Amino acid sequence: QVQLVESGGGSVQAGGSLRLACKESGYHADSYFLAWFRQAPGKEREWVAALYTGGGRPYYAGSVKGRFTVSRDNAKNTLYLQMSGLKSEDTATYYCAANDYWSDDAMRGDEFEYKYWGQGTQVTVSS
């Protein structure tokens, strides 16, 4: 059974940095998409970034491009989201998600393409 467990959330002042981690376990697929989403109170869930374990460049939402970096430690089966230049509008619960097949829609951040989800970790940015 696939499990995703996020960690690393917390409170930070605007302009600061945080690194989120998502520990993956239980996978059987050779390659799959991993992604970060976020959801602020009263707002819809928003895609942040995606990475295909089979290779290729990461993909980012325009709102975070240039500030956030997604990466994966293959040996540790852990996905990371390095966030810098944080803004108050980055305040949200951040979720790790995964699927088990190639999908153009997953690459573009369609949440319905993601089958597995973590429990989320809270990020609060104060101005």
C-alpha pair distances (Å), 44 with each of 38, 41, 47, 66: 9, 8, 10, 23
Distance of CA 124 to the CA centre of its chain: 16
C-alpha pair distances (Å), 38 with each of 15, 26, 87, 89: 19, 23, 14, 11
Q: What are the pLDDT digits (tens) for 50-87?
A: 999 888 899 999 999 999 999 999 899 999 999 999 99
Question: Region 13-34: what's the mean pLDDT?
Answer: 91
pLDDT band at 7 (very low <50, low <70, confident <90, very high): very high
Q: What are the pLDDT digits (tens) for 79-125?
A: 999 999 999 999 999 999 999 888 889 888 999 999 999 999 999 99
Q: Give the side-chain half-sphere CA count within 13 A for 95.
A: 19
Distance CA 9, CA 94 (A): 8
49, 72 Cβ separation under 8 angstroms:
no
Please give the helix or strand (H or E) that residue 24 lies within, else none.
strand 18-25
